Amino acid sequence: MSLLVTKPSCFELQEALIRSMVRSNGVLVTSYSTMVNHQETLLDHDWHYIILDEGHKIRNPDAQVTLAAKQVRNRVFGLPSLACPVMEKA
């Protein structure tokens, strides 16, 4: 499993990490912004599962991140998490 984070100075390393995860059938955990930044590389591959957390971030059908998420080729599309945070009483 690898964590892909956005850091502009490491773009080539991030691209290599994506390719490595695809070759090894690994798990890639990333953010919506990184998904948009690496959209071309991510779309070059078929993914088995796509699980999207914080579904409210893809609510706008015309947003760049929503369009990127909809283009990813996968076999099973995970349901976005729409849970609300729990507030504790003091």
pLDDT tens, position by position, 57-90 = 888 889 888 888 888 776 555 555 555 555 566 5
Question: What pLDDT sits at residue 47?
Answer: 79
The stretch 2-27 carries a mean pLDDT of 76
One-letter amino acid at 77 equals F
Question: What pLDDT sits at residue 75?
Answer: 57
Question: What pLDDT sits at residue 69?
Answer: 82
Cα–Cα distance measured from residue 45 to residue 65, given in angstroms and rounded to the nearest whole number? 18
Question: What pLDDT sits at residue 29?
Answer: 80
One-letter amino acid at 44 equals D
Tokens read off for 54: 């914080």
Per-residue pLDDT tens digits for 20-60: 888 888 787 878 888 888 888 888 888 777 777 777 788 88
Question: What pLDDT sits at residue 56?
Answer: 78
How is the chain split into domains, by residue range?
Answer: 2-77
Tell me the whole-structure pTM to 2 decimals: 0.63
Tokens read off for 64: 């760049």
Contacts of residue 7, defined as CB under 8 A and 6 or more positions apart, other chains included, come to: 14
